[in-house]
Amino acid sequence: MSNHSKVEIPDWTGKKILIVEDVETNMLFFKAALSKTNATLLWAADGFESIKMCQDDSDIEMVLMDLRMPRLDGFKATEAIKSFRPDLPIIAQTTYTEDVDTERIFESGCDAYLPKPIRLDDLINTMTRLIKQ
């Protein structure tokens, strides 16, 4: 199997995806990776902002949640969002893989977990599995 396998890019026109990421270069990766899906991409720079955006915008259909952020981490933000939007798919993503407590990720309410660096095909496949068609 070649490392250059083609990823079929879905058409998510009309879908809103919230990227919760405190590091701008990581947010730019997601923007570039998801640009061809035609989804509307929103950005929250911390957990507090992500909670407010999910409260204010019921059209958000998926959240890509960084776990390590200042002020309010992704675990607490996910718990808060799931308390009022239990069916909203949240994908945890974080750079630290060795000390990541995957049990805690799912206990907080995340529906999937992607370790960084994230491969485009893993990202698209995981999102496709969770996003409402």
Nearby residues of 9 by Cβ (< 8 Å), 6 or more positions away: 36, 37, 124
Q: Each residue of 28-71: pLDDT tens digit?
A: 999 999 999 999 999 999 999 999 999 999 999 999 999 999 89
**What was the pLDDT predicted at 46?**
96
**What was the pLDDT predicted at 2?**
41
Q: Is residue 92, in this structure, part of any structural domain at all? A: yes
Q: Residue 42 belongs to what domain range?
A: 16-130
Q: Is residue 70, in this structure, part of any structural domain at all? A: yes
Q: Is residue 2, in this structure, part of any structural domain at all? A: no
User: Model pTM?
Assistant: 0.92
Q: Each residue of 78-102: pLDDT tens digit?
A: 999 999 999 999 999 987 556 678 8
Number of structural domains the chain divides into: 1
Q: Is residue 116, in this structure, part of any structural domain at all? A: yes
Q: Is residue 7, in this structure, part of any structural domain at all? A: no
Q: Is residue 34, in this structure, part of any structural domain at all? A: yes
pLDDT reading at 3 higher than 50: no
Domain CATH number, residue 60: 3.40.50.2300
Q: Is residue 6, in this structure, part of any structural domain at all? A: no
